[in-house]
């Protein structure tokens, strides 16, 4: 794994940190390849129940791809067929929390959009700035922004490339909560711990069902939800949850 990407597991919570602060945590092909390996590991490691995605320092969550190394992806066709770091994050089955400080732009915004819950500090700034360089986002901005905010506001970001404040991002639905810089680490850690304490199979299914809701008809989604609801009652965790409720104790879920 390159030094520009850090991975730490603390109990059931894994943290991926983009570690290139002098370059606003911009992404390189080597970092993208490492994320591919991490996603596979996270999905296969049963002890991991929640993932936190963040960046080193307070200047930036990530400013996306390092424009100076874009040519390293090869020809236009190779660029088109690249395995993209943001879309790889979409494949994580566990809940993902984005902890955002500073700039969250371009591919950084796409990585945040691939996360499930987004917490930010008041000085965070968001932009789909690719349009100012001659292209649009290639890994989620045009597809996911209209799903978390109105199409008009999404297009305002996509067509101008202008910065949006943390408060605007929260009002528009892009950010879920804003916390002071001194508080955000504890708030994210608390959220991760509360999620990790619940039944992991049910958590993964709930995440999956929300994505189903974003892309299918309500009638189909409702039936699918009922099917997976019934499946949950085949798990040992469901038995444990009912037993803990009866015995008035905290359940000990094991992901089985």
| Catalytic hit among 22, 45, 88, 110 | 110
- Is 178 exposed, middle or buried, given 0-12, 13-18 or 19+ CB atoms closer than 10 A? buried
3-state secondary structure at position 251: coil
Rounded to the nearest 10°, the torsion over CA 252, 13, 195, 198 is -20
Give the strand pairing for 125-127 and 164-165: antiparallel
Strand order in the sheet with 103-105: 60-62, 103-105, 125-127, 164-165
Buried/exposed code over 63-72 (b: 16+ C-beta within 10 A; e: otherwise): bbbbeeeeee
Residue 156 catalytic? no
| Catalytic hit among 4, 88, 130, 204 | 130
Taking the chain, what is the end-to-end CA distance rounded to the nearest angstrom? 31
**What distance lies between CA 75 and its chain's CA centroid?**
29
H-state helical runs in 45-130: 76-80, 85-89, 107-114
Alpha-carbon gap, residue 69 to 26, rounded angstroms: 10
Alpha-carbon gap, residue 239 to 129, rounded angstroms: 49
Residue 110 catalytic? yes
Residues marked active site are found at: 110, 130
């Amino acid at each position: 794994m390159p030094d520009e990407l850090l991975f730490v597991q603390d109990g059931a919570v894994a943290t991926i940190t983009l570690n290139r602060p002098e370059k606003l945590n911009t992404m390189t092909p080597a970092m993208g390849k490492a994320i591919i390996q991490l996603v596979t590991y996270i999905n296969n490691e049963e002890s991991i129940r929640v993932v936190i995605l963040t960046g080193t320092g307070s200047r930036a969550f990530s400013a996306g791809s390092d424009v100076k190394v874009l040519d390293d992806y090869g020809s236009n066709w190779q660029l088109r067929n690249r395995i993209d770091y943001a879309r790889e994050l979409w494949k994580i089955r566990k809940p993902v929390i984005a902890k955002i400080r500073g700039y969250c732009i371009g591919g950084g915004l796409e990585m945040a959009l691939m996360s499930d819950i987004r917490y930010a500090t008041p000085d965070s700034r968001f932009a789909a700035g690719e349009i100012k360089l001659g292209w649009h986002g290639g890994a989620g901005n045009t597809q996911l922004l209209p799903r978390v905010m109105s199409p008009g506001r999404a297009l305002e970001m996509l067509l101008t490339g202008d910065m949006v404040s943390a408060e605007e991002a929260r009002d528009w639905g892009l950010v879920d909560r804003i916390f002071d810089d001194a508080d955000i680490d504890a708030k994210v850690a608390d959220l991760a711990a509360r999620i990790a304490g619940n039944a992991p199979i049910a958590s993964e299914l709930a995440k999956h069902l929300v994505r189903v809701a974003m892309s299918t008809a309500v009638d189909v989604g409702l039936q699918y939800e009922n099917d997976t609801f019934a499946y949950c009652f085949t798990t040992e965790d469901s038995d444990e949850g009912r037993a803990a409720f009866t015995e008035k104790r905290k359940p000990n879920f094991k992901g089985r």
